[in-house]
Amino acid sequence: MAINQPRSPEVYLNLNVRGMGASATLAINERSQQLVREGRQVYKLGLGQSPFPVPDHVRDALAANAHQKDYLAVKGLMPLREAIVDWVKRTEGLDYLPQNVLVGPGTKELMFLVQLVYYGDLVIPSPSWVSYAPQARIIGRQIQWLRTNPKNGLGVEPEILEELCESDPGRPRLLILNSPSNPTGLCYSEQQLERLAEVLRKYRVLALSDEIYSGTHYENGHVSLARYYPEGTIISNGVSKWCGAGGWRLGFFVFPESLGWLADAMAAVASETFTATSAPIQYAAVAAMQEHPGMEQYLSHSRQILANLADYAYRTLAASGSVLNPASGGFYLFPQFEQHRDKLAARGIEDGAQFAERLLQETGVALLPGNCFGRPSRELSARIAIVDFDGEQALKHAQTETIDTAFVKTHCNRVTTAIDLLAEWSSS
């Protein structure tokens, strides 16, 4: 009689995660750090980490609350949830209830939970942030990629969304709308949001408005989708990008009363997974959400620095023949290098991954190819993160100097040098 032999544990690995590697943004950052340790000159345009320090008054609040050690409510510290509600009222003119706010260890975790709890297809534009689609795959959700047009900034267009929805009107769907956008720097206008809201309302599509870069809108003109589709929109935000506190890992979702049931369901799952967000950081985050003159200056100078850097990158790459849209907020631009395909092919470069690898090896410029964001693997495109500079020093100089092209070439020299290298290398 045959005896069953023990099987290797690997065969029991969930099929949804087989073959997955680390998130592309984290992987390029770790590789860049390793190359630096080996003595290489590396320009880190891969990971989109804020270059600016946490504002002084927020950092002081963390130090003052370092003794806080208790488990907090699953949905979050009540004073923080109240401060978040006040902040949304102040910035968007929208009213919410503190019991419909959910605080988590970063919006990334909350985005995973909402896909786990809500049974619907994930709808995202191509390109989109690197983790939206992998999270859906882990959970086993269907992914619907929306085609986009470079002439319109590579964002979600109402006509394309309607085309998808009308093919199966009753199907549950979750649209993630990221503005300012990672990876393109696109900020949706009020007119665009109004038109999208009409389609979302018509087909009762659940919308997650990812606004993690809201405070980096270069003209301080961020507008939430929730203004036009309040009953079906969850606002997602946190302190990682506009407040410089990525490593603190604090994000939040704000739900309308009509989606209170979803907030409660996510909180139930959160109670069985992360339990609660770090207590000292929640207490400190209250200071980040409240009005403070230091924060206003911090945000104003940060926006001006990023805007001038993005403008320099746009002008330099466009002049070299690359095709891209100017950024309106955030840390990113998304150029295409198809115009240089013949020259690059002559150097053995046929796709985005080869482009990024050869660029890193030959110039030290580290970035991510477009296929990491849902673009075709053969497409010669990439995301650039304009963040490799000393943000603390830049902010100090911003207090006494004019923030212009000369400023960023002096105080953000690693980024401008990397852009120059990329433009020359890709077109030569």
Q: What domains are defined for the chain?
A: 11-53+294-427 (3.90.1150.10), 60-291 (3.40.640.10)
pLDDT tens digits, 243-294: 999 999 999 999 999 999 999 999 999 999 999 999 999 999 999 999 999 9
All residues at 6 or more sequence positions from 271 whose CB lies less than 8 Å from its CB, including other chains: 74
The average confidence (pLDDT) of the chain is 95
Question: Mean pLDDT, to the nearest integer, of 4-25?
Answer: 71
C-alpha to C-alpha distance for 51 and 104, rounded to whole angstroms: 23
Share of the chain above pLDDT 70, in %: 97
Residue % of the chain over a pLDDT of 90: 89
**pLDDT tens across 359-397, in order?**
999 999 999 999 999 999 999 999 999 999 999 999 999
pLDDT of residue 17: 72
Rounded-to-integer distance, Cα 137 and Cα 144, Å: 12
Return the pLDDT at 36: 84
Task: Please list the alpha-helical segments (H only) found in 272-366.
Answer: 279-289, 293-319, 341-346, 352-363
Peptide bond into 158 cis (omega under 30): no
pLDDT of residue 274: 97
The DSSP string of 354-404 is: HHHHHHHHHH-EE-EEGGGGTS-TTS-BEEEE---S-HHHHHHHHTTS--S
Whether 20 has a pLDDT exceeding 70, the answer reads no
- Tell whether the model's pLDDT for residue 120 goes beyond 70: yes
Q: How confident is the model at residue 238 (pLDDT cuts 50, 70, 90)?
A: very high
Answer left, alpha or beta for residue 39, where phi above 0 means left and psi between -120 and 50 means alpha: left
Distance, in Å, from the CA atom of 27 to the CA atom of 33, rounded to the nearest integer, reads 10
- Kindly state the average pLDDT of the residues 70-91: 98
Q: pLDDT digit string (tens) for 312-359?
A: 999 999 999 999 999 999 999 999 999 999 999 999 999 999 999 999
Contact 61, 287 (CB under 8 A): yes
Distance CA 383, CA 369 (A): 6
Mean pLDDT within 207-228: 98
Check pLDDT > 80 for residue 10: no
Instruction: Check whether 2 has a pLDDT greater than 70.
Output: no
pTM, two decimals, is 0.94
Q: What is the pLDDT of residue 135?
A: 97
